Structure 1
Amino acid sequence: MRFSIIIKILGILLMLFSFTLLPPALVAKWYGEQEVAIFGYAFLITLATGFISWAPVWKVKQELRIRDGFLVTVLFWTVLATFGTLPLYLMKSPQLSFIDTLFESLSGLTTTGATVITSLDSLPKSILFYRQQLQWLGGMGIIVLAVAILPMLGIGGMQLYRAETPGPIKDTKLTPRITETAKALWYIYLCLTLACFLAYWLAGMSLFDAICHSFSTIAIGGFSTHDASLGYFNNSAVEAICIVFMVLAGINFALHFFAWRHRSIKHYFNDSEVKLYLWLLLSISLVAVLVLYFDSPYNLSESIRFGVFEVVSIATTTGFGTADFSIWPHFLPYLLFWTCFVGGCAGSTAGGIKVIRVMLIFKQGVREVQKLLHPNAIVPIKLGKKALPERVIEAVWGYFSVYVFIFITLFLAMLALGLDLPTSFSTVASCMNNLGPALGDAAANYAGLPDAAKWILCLAMLLGRLEIFTLLVLFSPAFWRR
Structure 2
Amino acid sequence: MLARLAELPLLVVLLGLAGAIALVPAVYAFGVNDHEHARDFFYSALILLVLTVMLGIATAAYLPRDPARSHLAALVLAYAILPFALALPLMEALPDTSLVNAWFEMVSAFSTTGASVYPPDRLADAVHLWRATVGWFGGFLIILAAYAILAPLNLGGTEVSSGRVPGRGAAGTAQVARTADPALRLTRFALMLFPVYGSITFLLWCGLLVLGESGISALIHAMGTLSTSGITGATAFQDAGAGAGGEVLIFLCFAFAITRRALPGVRLAENRRPLLKDPELRLAALLVLSVTLILFLRHWFVATETEGDAAEVLPSFWGILFTATSFLTTTGYVSSHWQTAADWSGIGTPGLVLLGLAIMGGGTATAAGGVKLLRVYALLRHGERELEKIIHPNSIGRGGTEARRLRREGAQFAWVFFMLFATSIAVVSALLLLAGVGFEQTMVLAIAALTTTGQLAELGAAQPIAYHDLGDPVKIILGLAMVVGRLETLALLALILPSRGRR
- TM-score range (shorter-chain normalised) is 0.7 to 0.9
- Asked whether the 8 Å contact 1:222–1:320 carries over to 2, the reply is yes
Match of 1:58 among 60, 73, 89: 60
Match of 2:360 among 342, 366, 369: 342
Letter in 2 for 1:194: F
**1:289 & 1:440 partners in 2: Cα distance?**
21
Letter in 2 for 1:317: T
Match of 2:223 among 204, 212, 215: 215
**1:333 & 1:461 partners in 2: Cα distance?**
20
Partner of 2:274: 267
- Asked whether the 8 Å contact 2:125–2:234 carries over to 1, the reply is no
Partner of 2:134: 134
Partner of 2:144: 144
1:31-70 paired onto structure 2 within 5 Å: 31-33=32-34, 34-61=36-63, 64-70=66-72
Q: Which moved more, 1:450-459 or 1:319-328?
A: 319-328
Question: Against the structure 1 CA distance between its residues 106 and 162, is the aligned structure 2 distance closer, same or farther, given a 3 Å change threshold?
Answer: farther
Q: Which moved more, 1:341-350 or 1:265-274?
A: 265-274
Secondary structure at 1:205 match in 2: coil
Structure 2 alignment gaps of length 5 or more: 1-5, 163-168
Q: Does 1:305 align with 2:318?
A: yes
- Asked whether the 8 Å contact 1:288–1:308 carries over to 2, the reply is no
| Aligned alpha-carbon RMSD (Å) | 3.6
- Asked whether the 8 Å contact 2:205–2:222 carries over to 1, the reply is yes
Secondary structure at 1:82 match in 2: helix
Shift of 1:143: 8.2
Partner of 1:320: 333
Partner of 2:165: none
Shift of 1:211: 1.5
Q: Does 1:449 align with 2:470?
A: yes
Partner of 2:484: 463
Q: Indicate the percent of aligned positions where both proteins have the same amino acid.
A: 24
Shift of 1:66: 2.9
Shift of 1:208: 1.8
**1:388 & 1:98 partners in 2: Cα distance?**
46
1:302-326 residue CA offsets vs partner (Å, 9 max, x unmatched):
3123222221211111011234699
Letter in 2 for 1:54: G
Match of 2:213 among 196, 205, 228: 205
Partner of 2:237: 229
Partner of 1:419: 437
Question: Against the structure 1 CA distance between its residues 133 and 144, is the aligned structure 2 distance closer, same or farther, given a 3 Å change threshold?
Answer: same
Q: Which moved more, 1:328-337 or 1:26-35?
A: 328-337
TM-score by length of 2: 0.81
- Asked whether the 8 Å contact 2:351–2:462 carries over to 1, the reply is no
Partner of 1:250: 257
Secondary structure at 1:308 match in 2: helix
Shift of 1:77: 1.9
Partner of 1:151: none
Letter in 2 for 1:50: T
Partner of 1:72: 74
Q: Does 1:196 align with 2:207?
A: no
Shift of 1:140: 2.1
**2:213 & 2:430 partners in 1: Cα distance?**
42
Secondary structure at 2:50 match in 1: helix
1:285-343 residue CA offsets vs partner (Å, 9 max, x unmatched):
22233346856676323312322222121111101123469997168221121111111
Secondary structure at 2:469 match in 1: coil
**1:331 & 1:386 partners in 2: Cα distance?**
40
Partner of 2:21: 20
Letter in 1 for 2:379: I
Partner of 1:152: none
Question: Against the structure 1 CA distance between its residues 132 and 63, is the aligned structure 2 distance closer, same or farther, given a 3 Å change threshold?
Answer: same
Partner of 2:101: 100
- Asked whether the 8 Å contact 1:326–1:443 carries over to 2, the reply is no
**1:372 & 1:468 partners in 2: Cα distance?**
34
Partner of 1:153: none
Letter in 2 for 1:166: G
Shift of 1:471: 2.3
1:7-56 residue CA offsets vs partner (Å, 9 max, x unmatched):
84322321232111111111111122211222123213322332332222
Shift of 1:245: 1.5
Count the aligned residue pairs: 462
Shift of 1:266: 6.0
Partner of 1:167: 157
**2:143 & 2:158 partners in 1: Cα distance?**
19
Q: Which moved more, 1:126-135 or 1:408-417?
A: 408-417
TM-score by length of 1: 0.84
Letter in 2 for 1:455: I
**2:88 & 2:154 partners in 1: Cα distance?**
25
- Asked whether the 8 Å contact 2:155–2:491 carries over to 1, the reply is no
Q: Does 1:431 align with 2:449?
A: yes
